[in-house]
A and B are shown apart, each in its own frame.
Chain A
C-alpha cells in the first residue's frame, strides 16, 4: 500500500507550537508511506490541488492529513481524495490542532505527540477499505418546534417553498414573546400589527398544520426520516367546534386563573382565549382553576356554548408525525428577578419586569394601555428603569449580555414620555450596547429628545418610603451616590434558556451550552445547523436575539431545509455496523444494547442471527463492544483498524518491555 501524508501548518495555529517539517520527516520513515510533506494551508485550493497531484504522481492508495478538527474539514478532504479517483474512505485525519498545538506550548512534546498521531492514522489507513454509500428516500415534510416569531418565519418560508410543515407550539397560541410586546425598536411600530398578519398566514396556509397547546414527546429516526410523537395536551374544549366567540370567557365565574399572557399582572377566567389576536383563536380551560374540574360544580360554559364545544372529559392525545427535518425555535425565558433581593421584586408591588411593563403599555393589556402602577392604580410620574438584571452578572450565574435590554429600555422610556408627558424616566445602566442598524440613534433619541436621564451605575437597593420607592445607586460618572424617588421601577430582566431546553436537546440529540442554550454546528460558518443532521436552529433557543436576528435565522433555517430537500435521495453514511453471519451466534446482546433499535433478529437457514437496519444505525459502536464473538463490526472503525492504531502507539513500549 502507498500512503501520502500531508502535515498542515494552519498558519501559526499548528506551526507555532509544532515542528511540522519534523513531523513530515518522521512520517516518511513509516512503513507504507510513499510521500510526506508539510503544507501551509492543506484546506486551501493550492493545498488540495497539491494532495491531488501527489496522489496521481506517486500513485497513492490512501491519504493522511494532519491538521485541524475532522468536524470542520474531514468532508473537505474526503471530497479531495475522491476528486483524485480514490474511494473517499481511504482517508484519515490526525487532529494535531485541537489535540496538540492548541493545548500545550512545549514544542518538543507537541511534535512528539503529533508524530504519534500521524503514525496511528497511517496504521489505521493500511487497514482501511473503500466503503460505498447507499441512497435512501427523504420524507419532505418539516416540523417546526416553537411558534414564536422565529418559528413562524421558518414555517412560512418552508411552506411557501412547497413543503408540508407541522408547527408545534407549547402554549395555546402562537406569537411567542413578540406578541406580548407593545411596540418594537427602533421603528416604534405596533408589534402585534406586524406579527398578527404572519400569525394569520400560519392559520390559513394550506401547507401548515398547527398543533397549539402541544409538546414534542419523543423523537426517533434520522435525517430524512424522523418519527415524532406529539402530545396534544387536553384543552377541555373541542377546537374543531369552538369558534372563538368568547361567550364562555364572559360568563366563567372563576376569575383567579393566572393570566400568563399578561405576565400575571392581574388574573383571567378559568376558560380563556389568551389575547384578542390569538392563533388559533380557541378557548382553553385551566384545569387548576375550573370549578367543574376541581369540584364538579358549575359547568356554566358548557350550558352557554353555542356550538357545544366544551368537553370536560377530554384527555391528552398522542399524534404520530413523520418528517425529514426539524427546525427548533423554542425561544427563551426571562431571568427570575426575585433573585435580586436588594431590588425587592416580588415584595414591592411597584417593582415590575420589563415585559410586565410592556403589557401595561399595550392597548390590549390589563389596563387598556394606560400606565397605572400595580399597587394603587395611580399614574406614575418618576419611572426608574434598571438595566442588566440577570445579565453580565457572574454572581447570579449570568455572565453573558442579553443583548436586547438596552434597546427595549430605551423604547420603554420613549413610550413612557408619549403616554405620560409629565413623567420623568431614569435609566441606570452599565454600558449602552446598541450595535444594530439605527439602534444607537434610537437610544440617543431617548436621551436627547425625550429627556430620559441615563445614570451610569448599578442600583444597590430599592426601598419604599410612603407611597414612593427610593432607588439608591451609584453614578460612576459623577463619582457619587444618587437617590431617586420613583413611583414605579421597571427591571430590565435578561434572557435565559427556556425551561426544559436541555430535556428537549436530549430528545433531539443536539448539544447545549452550560446555560442551556443550543449549540450551533460552527459558531461562524454553520450558525443555524446543529451537529445532528437534519436538525436546525432558529431564534433565541441558541442565545438571546432581537426580532430581526430571529427572523433572519428563521429564514436561514428554512433555506437549509429547502436545500436539504432539493435532492430526492440522501446518501447514507456507510460507517455503520455490519454482522459477520458466520461468526454470529444469535445471542441477541447487540439487540438489547442498541440505543436506536437498529438491530433486529432474523432467521438464517434455520438459525437465529442479528441483522443491522442500515438506515437506522447511527454508527455509535456500542454493539461492537458488546458482541462476545466480535461478529458485529462498525465499518471504518473495526477492531483491526483500532488495534492497528494501538499497536503502533505501543510499539516502543512493547520493544522496551522485551529488552
Chain B
C-alpha cells in the first residue's frame, strides 16, 4: 500500500457536471491532507433516486458493480463526496449482508462483488482519520471572523443504522472541522432538514418553501455563509436562491460553500483548484464580512 490513507474514489455523476467545484476541491484538499484517491476504474451511475423506486435488486446491482470494480484496487475503502451516491453504495452493501440478496445481485453482474470494503463519505474520512486537530495543524490562513452555518442535508447521516456516522439528529463533524479552521460556527438548528432535493424539477414551490426556510434559519443565526456537503443541497440553496427570493418575497444574499472549498482556502490552496468562481451567489462578501469581524475583534 502506497500511503496509509488510500481510498477508491467515486466522484458520482454530479461531480463531473453540476458540482464540479465540489469534486475538484475534494481532490485538492485530499491531496493536501495526505489522503490518496484512486478513481474507481470504469465506474458507472449509482442509479441515483430513480433506480431504487423501481427495483431494489437492480438498484443494488448498479452500486455493487462499482463496489466490485473498487475491490480490484489496493485500497482501504470506498469514498465519495456525494451523500446520495453514498446512500446508494451503503444501502446496497448493507442489504448484501443478507446472503440471499447478495446472490440475487451478483447474478446480475459479470463479476461478483465480495462486499468487503468499508464505504464512507469523504467527510467521514477527513473527520475520523485526519481529525479536526490534523486539519488545524495544516491551516495557513485562518477563517477567523467568518460565521458559518453548517448544513448536512437529510441523508448524510440517515438512516442511522445504515450510514453509521455522527448523530442523525445533531451531527457535528462539519462543525468541528469548521471550528478547526478558525471559523465561528453558528448553532444552525436545521442541520438535517430536507431542502426539497428531488422535487427540484417537478415541484419548484416545495423547494422554494423548504430551502427558503433553511436560508431564513441561516440568516436568523447571523451566518455570513452556509456550508454544505451535498451537491443537490448546494444547488438548491445557491443556484435557486433568486427563485426562492422571488417566490417567498425574501432578499437572501447568502453564499453557499462546499466544506471542501473552505478547508482548501484555509489550507492556502489556489483559487483555481477550489473553483470559488463556480458559485452563483458571489462568495466575496462573506470574506469581506470576515475581515470586518476580524477588525472589530482586534480593535
A residues adjacent to B (C-beta < 8 A): 341-342, 344, 347, 461, 463-466
Query: A interface, by DSSP: helix, strand, loop or mixed?
Result: mixed
A466 and B170 form a contact (CB under 8 A): no
B216, closest chain A residue (CB): A465
A sample of 19 inter-chain contacts (CB < 8 A) reads A341-B167, A341-B168, A341-B169, A341-B170, A342-B169, A344-B170, A344-B189, A347-B170, A461-B193, A463-B189, A463-B190, A463-B217, A464-B187, A464-B189, A465-B189, A465-B216, A465-B217, A465-B220, A466-B220
Q: Which residues of A contact B220 (CB under 8 A)?
A: 465-466
Q: Which residues of B contact A341 (CB under 8 A)?
A: 167-170
B residues adjacent to A (C-beta < 8 A): 167-170, 187, 189-190, 193, 216-217, 220
Number of A-B residue pairs, CB cutoff 8 Å, is 19
A342 to B168, CA, bound (A): 9
Minimum C-beta distance from A639 to chain B (A)? 50
Q: Which residues of A contact B167 (CB under 8 A)?
A: 341
Minimum C-beta distance from B197 to chain A (A)? 17
B191, closest chain A residue (CB): A463
Q: Which residues of B contact A463 (CB under 8 A)?
A: 189-190, 217
A461 to B190, CA, bound (A): 9
Q: Which residues of B contact A347 (CB under 8 A)?
A: 170
Q: Which residues of A contact B189 (CB under 8 A)?
A: 344, 463-465
Minimum C-beta distance from B190 to chain A (A)? 6
Q: Which residues of A contact B217 (CB under 8 A)?
A: 463, 465
Q: Which residues of B contact A461 (CB under 8 A)?
A: 193
A347 to B187, CA, bound (A): 10
A463 to B190, CA, bound (A): 7
Minimum C-beta distance from A461 to chain B (A)? 8
A347 to B167, CA, bound (A): 14
A342 to B189, CA, bound (A): 10
A347 to B188, CA, bound (A): 12
Minimum C-beta distance from A344 to chain B (A)? 8
Q: Which residues of B contact A464 (CB under 8 A)?
A: 187, 189
Minimum C-beta distance from B206 to chain A (A)? 12
A343, closest chain B residue (CB): B169
Minimum C-beta distance from B203 to chain A (A)? 15
A59 to B287, CA, bound (A): 105
Nearest 8 A-B pairs (CB), nearest first? Answer: A341-B169, A463-B189, A342-B169, A464-B189, A341-B170, A465-B220, A463-B190, A466-B220
A465 to B219, CA, bound (A): 10
A463 to B170, CA, bound (A): 11
Minimum C-beta distance from A397 to chain B (A)? 15
Minimum C-beta distance from B196 to chain A (A)? 14
A344 to B193, CA, bound (A): 14
A465 to B169, CA, bound (A): 17
Minimum C-beta distance from A395 to chain B (A)? 11
Q: Which residues of B contact A466 (CB under 8 A)?
A: 220
A342 to B167, CA, bound (A): 10
A344 to B188, CA, bound (A): 12
A230 to B131, CA, bound (A): 50
A347 to B193, CA, bound (A): 17
Q: Which residues of A contact B216 (CB under 8 A)?
A: 465
B190, closest chain A residue (CB): A463
B171, closest chain A residue (CB): A341
Minimum C-beta distance from B20 to chain A (A)? 32
Q: Which residues of A contact B168 (CB under 8 A)?
A: 341
A461 to B217, CA, bound (A): 14
Minimum C-beta distance from A643 to chain B (A)? 48
A464 to B169, CA, bound (A): 14
B189, closest chain A residue (CB): A463
Q: Which residues of A contact B169 (CB under 8 A)?
A: 341-342
A81 to B32, CA, bound (A): 89
A373 to B86, CA, bound (A): 42
Interface centre among A342, A465, A466 (most CB of B within 10 A): A465
A463 to B168, CA, bound (A): 15
A350 to B193, CA, bound (A): 21
A341, closest chain B residue (CB): B169
Minimum C-beta distance from B90 to chain A (A)? 21
A465 to B217, CA, bound (A): 6
A470, closest chain B residue (CB): B189
Minimum C-beta distance from B212 to chain A (A)? 13
Q: A341-B170, A464-B187 are in contact. List 17 more A-B contacts (CB 8 A).
A: A341-B167, A341-B168, A341-B169, A342-B169, A344-B170, A344-B189, A347-B170, A461-B193, A463-B189, A463-B190, A463-B217, A464-B189, A465-B189, A465-B216, A465-B217, A465-B220, A466-B220
Q: Which residues of A contact B170 (CB under 8 A)?
A: 341, 344, 347
Minimum C-beta distance from B156 to chain A (A)? 15
A462, closest chain B residue (CB): B189
B167, closest chain A residue (CB): A341
A638 to B68, CA, bound (A): 66
A464, closest chain B residue (CB): B189
A342, closest chain B residue (CB): B169
Minimum C-beta distance from A474 to chain B (A)? 15
B217, closest chain A residue (CB): A465
Minimum C-beta distance from A257 to chain B (A)? 28
Minimum C-beta distance from B254 to chain A (A)? 16
Minimum C-beta distance from B62 to chain A (A)? 31
B160, closest chain A residue (CB): A341
A225 to B169, CA, bound (A): 54
A347 to B169, CA, bound (A): 12
Q: Which residues of B contact A342 (CB under 8 A)?
A: 169
A466 to B221, CA, bound (A): 8
A347 to B170, CA, bound (A): 10
Q: Which residues of B contact A344 (CB under 8 A)?
A: 170, 189
Minimum C-beta distance from A583 to chain B (A)? 59
A466, closest chain B residue (CB): B220
Minimum C-beta distance from A546 to chain B (A)? 32
Q: Which residues of A contact B190 (CB under 8 A)?
A: 463
A555 to B189, CA, bound (A): 50
A472, closest chain B residue (CB): B193
A464 to B216, CA, bound (A): 12
A341 to B168, CA, bound (A): 8
Minimum C-beta distance from A361 to chain B (A)? 28
Minimum C-beta distance from B225 to chain A (A)? 19
Minimum C-beta distance from A484 to chain B (A)? 15
A283 to B167, CA, bound (A): 42
A353 to B189, CA, bound (A): 20
A312 to B214, CA, bound (A): 56
A465 to B216, CA, bound (A): 9
Minimum C-beta distance from A376 to chain B (A)? 16
A461 to B193, CA, bound (A): 10
Minimum C-beta distance from B195 to chain A (A)? 15
Minimum C-beta distance from B185 to chain A (A)? 14
A466 to B216, CA, bound (A): 10
A463 to B187, CA, bound (A): 11
A371 to B35, CA, bound (A): 54
A465 to B189, CA, bound (A): 8
